[in-house]
Amino acid sequence: MARYSRQQWLTLIVFAIADFCSAVCVSLQAPFYPMLAESKGASPTEYGFVFGVFELTVFIVSPIYGNYLYKIGPKFMFNAGIFTTATTCILFGFLDRINDTSAFLGLSFAVRIVEAMGNSGFLTASFSIIAKEFPDNVGATFASLETCFGLGMIVGPTLGGALFELGGYTVPFVTLGSMLLTAACITYCILPNYGSQDKGEQESSGSMISLMKVPSISLAAYAIIASSISIGFLQATLEPHLRPLQLSPFQLGLMFVLNGATYGIFAPLWGCLCDKWVNPRYVVIFGAFVTMAAFIIIGPAPFLPIPTTLPLCILALVMHGTGFGAELVATFTSAHRDAVANGFPDDIQTYGLVSGMWTSTFALGAFIGPSVAGALFDWAGFSWATVFVVGLHLLVAILFILHVCCDRRRPSGGLYTKIHPSLANSDPEKASLITTGEKKIPLNRSISDSSYYSNTSSESSQEYYVY
């Protein structure tokens, strides 16, 4: 970080502020919106879907944003996303003026869907800009900003509840929405414009379908879904599971904070490991096993003859925060590398495709998790329901282990990266790779200790590969 430029530092700071404020606005209604909805005549199923439709919308629109990020522009999408999220947050604060149940629910769905569209655009663009601005520290930077987002998700309900007690329903939405609007103005002034120097570069970047055809990226998408399912599972079923322990409201709130806080603490560590020292796939495998152990303990699993106790639940939640954090950070880092390593040019649209995939699959898991958890809890109880999550992460571990073993058996001994000609011409380091009769090893390159660069194509094809 000491080598970051002034532009990188400014980008990091404004991203941290925007991530925190956005998470606060997205999560602040949780403590008091259900009470308002019931007073308007809405059932728990109806207002519960108001929360669920947010993730469903993110799942649908994120791949679209990722696919058209180049045309829209990362900076415009980022600022438009923040502005939309802030505006809809403020509008959500005036729903208490509506007394008709159908109108109340209809507007709740409409505002929440538009808010999800804004949040999805903001996240997709921000992940892409991270990959562009911090190419050597993608994992660590992503993890640091995820820590800010996680803190916002924790602070949002708490701060929203406090402002609700002080000034009523509208005050928290107007106050925190205005704070996010201020963050949008700051980012608009500071962020540079991002674009390609060659229009043909856009056409060669591929599509979301071609991206998902890469086996390693498909595996990463599955791991992301499994991780977010585990989060949603606990959000829906942890409170009834802990009810026999007779915890106070404050103690119960702290239990919900545990895994998020652990994730925030360890996420930068996973990012640094993935960037510099450890293959991200190994981190995913480790995270899958830790998450499995967490759900076996918190169940406790039907084959474990132990009672549910508060210390065991605390241990399990801390382990879960550690495990799913390792999975999420490592999959983001590896997906960007694997896309470039499988022929996608190292440009902003490729970053957009990968970021859209990550955001979309995470939202899909966050939508599936609570839905499946509630049905399994009613049908088989919490202990047996946890076996579903254990099975998902066992499959993650097995698939990634097999993938690592297959990679080691490849005759080439490693992955290769196609370098797009326009990028090679615009990047002095990559331009040095374009030779006609010799191999060059550029300095300060860290693909692997034994890596070397080679021109493997004719002059007419203008394709260069990194081994």
Query: Could you read off the pLDDT tens digit of each residue along the chain, which spans 467 residues?
Result: 556 777 778 888 888 888 888 888 877 776 677 778 888 888 766 777 787 788 888 888 888 887 777 778 888 888 899 899 999 999 998 998 998 989 999 999 999 999 989 988 888 888 778 777 777 776 677 777 777 777 777 777 777 777 887 888 888 899 988 988 888 888 788 776 665 443 334 444 457 788 888 888 889 899 999 998 888 788 777 777 887 887 776 677 677 777 777 877 787 788 788 777 888 889 899 999 999 999 999 888 888 778 888 889 899 989 998 888 888 888 887 887 888 888 787 777 777 788 788 888 888 888 888 778 777 877 888 888 889 999 999 999 999 999 888 876 654 433 333 333 333 333 444 333 333 333 433 433 333 333 333 333 333 333 333 33
The C-alpha atoms of residue 362 and residue 153 are separated, in whole angstroms, by 16
Question: Which of 193, 187, 82 lies closest to 133, judged by CA?
Answer: 193
**Tokens of residue 344, six digits:** 């996608």
Tokens of 363: 């939202």
* SS3 letters across 376-424: HHHHHCHHHHHHHHHHHHHHHHHHHHHHHHHHHCCCCCCCCEEECHHHH
Q: Residue written as tokens 């499988």?
A: 342
Q: How long, in residues, is the chain?
A: 467
Residue type at position 392:
L
